[in-house]
A = this chain, B = another copy of it.
């Protein structure tokens, strides 16, 4: 096996992502030593029982002692407070990163607290399931998934290189882009779809009990896929929508415009317009399959995603 990418890894927050990083770092030899820290005693206890790290603790100082790579894996809304708390305990030269789905707000909240901002390389591994907590993690979660780095302009080149190597070792494909670009692209590919899924599931829930039970019964007709997305962690998503407010509202504006146009076609019985629209969206699906981000098989490639 190749040499470890880092000597001592500290993960702050042990949910789905944090616990998956711990498992993957150990399985693929990315870190010689792994410490996990969580504010919740129950989660620390569970992480201990699962044996996913060399040390599981509620104590920041203990977790950070000697760590050359520190990854904040808390919900986006907690990043600022976490940065403030960990700053005094960071070893000189430590590389700091995160896993947040929004980068602008995370950078704004964390950077002012960090002693070496050039060694803070924000990251966003695009991977997850609708499950939460330390038990939900698994070592192959990041395999063949993208991990986007958004380094600051004055970033330390060695730090970027080390973090790239770390995520590559975990199986991810690393890509670099600006903070603003990341937040716009993700607003469209992730945040808006989640908002829509939450909304349609909420609409169904507003019906009376009889209809609601039928909605559940007949969910295989399309609704089911929305409920999966809308089952994701509520705190994580609250934080994402608050943190990426501007980009999300902008994408939502476009979505609403387009939906009005479709609504008008239906009302007017414009079959030609609908057909043209639906044929066009089919092409996008084909591109996604061609680019290897999904498969055409009925299980949508999930079988091959490990676990």
Residue pair A228, B225 in contact (C-beta under 8 Å): yes
A16 to B210 alpha-carbon distance, docked (Å): 31
> Of B203, B218, B230, B281, which is within 8 A of A201 by CB?
B281
Cβ distance A66 to chain B, nearest Cβ, rounded Å: 34
A238 part of interface (Cβ distance < 8 Å): yes
A266 to B288 alpha-carbon distance, docked (Å): 30
A216 part of interface (Cβ distance < 8 Å): yes
Return chain B residues, CB-CB under 8 Å to A296.
131
Return chain B residues, CB-CB under 8 Å to A277.
198, 202
Residue pair A226, B193 in contact (C-beta under 8 Å): yes
Return chain B residues, CB-CB under 8 Å to A130.
285
Q: Which of A203-228 contact B (CB under 8 A)?
A: 203-207, 211-212, 214-228
**Number of A residues whose C-beta is below 8 Å from B?**
102
A267 to B241 alpha-carbon distance, docked (Å): 9
Cβ-closest chain B residue relative to A286 = B231
Residue pair B305, A302 in contact (C-beta under 8 Å): no
A192 to B185 alpha-carbon distance, docked (Å): 25
Residue pair A231, B293 in contact (C-beta under 8 Å): no
Residue pair B188, A193 in contact (C-beta under 8 Å): no
A108 part of interface (Cβ distance < 8 Å): no
Return chain B residues, CB-CB under 8 Å to A302.
298-300, 302
B-binding residues in A (CB < 8 A):
77, 101, 126-127, 129-131, 145-146, 148, 184-186, 188-207, 211-212, 214-232, 234-235, 237-239, 241-242, 245, 248-249, 251-252, 254-256, 258-259, 262-263, 266-267, 269, 271, 274-275, 277-288, 291, 293-294, 296, 298-300, 302-303, 305, 307
Return chain B residues, CB-CB under 8 Å to A225.
193, 225-226, 228-229
Residue pair A298, B305 in contact (C-beta under 8 Å): yes
A14 to B146 alpha-carbon distance, docked (Å): 40
A219 to B291 alpha-carbon distance, docked (Å): 10
Cβ-closest chain B residue relative to A173 = B217
A106 to B215 alpha-carbon distance, docked (Å): 22
**A280-B229 contact given A192-B200, A241-B266, A293-B217, CB 8 Å threshold:** no
Cβ contacts A to B, 14 pairs, < 8 Å: A189-B219, A193-B223, A195-B262, A197-B222, A198-B277, A202-B277, A219-B293, A230-B278, A231-B281, A242-B271, A249-B266, A252-B263, A256-B256, A298-B302
Return chain B residues, CB-CB under 8 Å to A195.
259, 262, 266
A290 to B40 alpha-carbon distance, docked (Å): 29
**A285-B215 contact given A207-B188, A302-B302, A303-B299, CB 8 Å threshold:** no
